[in-house]
Structure 1
């Protein structure tokens, strides 16, 4: 039986997850999975399944806040969502066939790479640069854009199913580069698509019994609080500073998780 402070800790983890989702459109998996495995001794598979379910809760909360501000356009991004649903099922199947140590070490590497990317990546609000990126992808026919969106969504879904990430950042990039979305509308739309992708992945993990409902509920409650508060102040925080802070946290967790995996392999 868990101590009372553990319940509070899970809610705090959820608050942090919701805040990150609302501020930078990223999945909470990179917080939830390492903390559940390191602090609560949850298996990697169960931690990933649980994180996907929390992603659904957090993403719906955040996307609703963006919707109220007119910053969601799912019609244009629906093909990415459809592709991601199929891909996440394949990803969940692949993850189930991976060994615990392989999945854990792979996730540690993903954390490290994501942390380094976020730490060194600077926000670019330069419209000229953005327009140049848009011109690199020029579709002559609408069906070409649809096929490209489906393939991108499928790839994002596979990664989501394997590592428990709703794919928010990758969807965000796809919406900006592929579909030329304005930034705020891209964040709102990608968060809603992330909820759909995460739901599909969570279903795949639930079928295999890899979701802890108690942890999902407690962390999910926290994510609603964090998501609602974070969405309110999303445009008031220096993005570069926030990315560096989160990047350092991801790098630290990635190193710790990788080291634990290496030292526990017999």
Structure 2
């Protein structure tokens, strides 16, 4: 291993942390293919290492959002609890479904969500900048908790099926179903992702499927990227962040759909 190896690993981590801080997406989507193709790491080790980085990056980003008051702890914890259970169910479903159909379906969902957010960012100019409308409104605390548990289970199942889509699924659910403002949705989704990623990381670590050196290098970069990205995201207004997230979602969706079609 030479100096270039270390620099490249840290640089990949910086990009991963930055993306997590802006759109709450899992580093699995970036790290796994890069480790597999360029670092010649086995797929299982690549996934385990990326999950390890996910925990560090997500906790860094979540803490930054928490300092800015952009985390809903109550709903986040309830969602995280059932999402862990749902992920196990989703993983068992995924083995019975075609991978190409899953990837293209998720890609299309991302494109639609991304375009909707871009469109919304240009509308309602007179509306308050700190709100994102949803269609569920809660009259009592128990209703909110029950909804969080059900949504967490659903997110877990979908995350288990789609794999790397966990963070994005959480973010979409918080925005669309629970009426979270975008800043708070990103902060809360990264906290939930850290908890669910930790659960999976432990499983991979027990089986020896984590490259500790790579994980540390990637995590160091992810912390830097997460801190810088979070500072930027927490300072910009809701409309600009909506536009940024929308563009990222659309691009990710197009890439995922294209790869599924080519395969």
1:68 maps onto 2:64 in alignment: no
Corresponding residue SS for 2:202: helix
Quote the offset at 1:64 in angstroms.
0.8
- Superposed CA deviations along residues 57-99 of structure 1, whole A, max 9, x for unmatched, are 111111111111122221133211111122234456677x78x
Partner of 2:156: 157
Q: Which runs of 5+ in 2 are unaligned?
A: none
Q: Which runs of 5+ in 1 are unaligned?
A: none
Corresponding residue SS for 2:117: coil
- Within a 5 Å distance, the mapping from 1:1-266 to structure 2 comes to 2-91=1-90, 109=104, 112-113=107-108, 116-117=111-112, 120-123=115-118, 124-125=120-121, 126=124, 127=127, 134=134, 136-138=135-137, 142-161=141-160, 164-165=163-164, 167-234=166-233, 235-236=235-236, 238-239=240-241, 240=243, 243-244=246-247, 247-248=250-251, 251-252=254-255, 255=258, 262=263
Q: 1:56 to 1:155 in 2, by over 3 A?
A: same
1:156 & 1:256 partners in 2: Cα distance? Answer: 23
1:209 & 1:106 partners in 2: Cα distance? Answer: 31
Q: 1:159 to 1:46 in 2, by over 3 A?
A: farther
2:161 & 2:5 partners in 1: Cα distance? Answer: 27
Corresponding residue SS for 2:164: coil
Corresponding residue SS for 2:20: helix
1:14–1:220 contact (8 Å) kept in structure 2: yes
Q: 1:183 to 1:242 in 2, by over 3 A?
A: closer
Q: 1:246 to 1:76 in 2, by over 3 A?
A: closer
1:18 & 1:184 partners in 2: Cα distance? Answer: 16
Tell me the matched-pair count: 253
1:132 & 1:4 partners in 2: Cα distance? Answer: 45
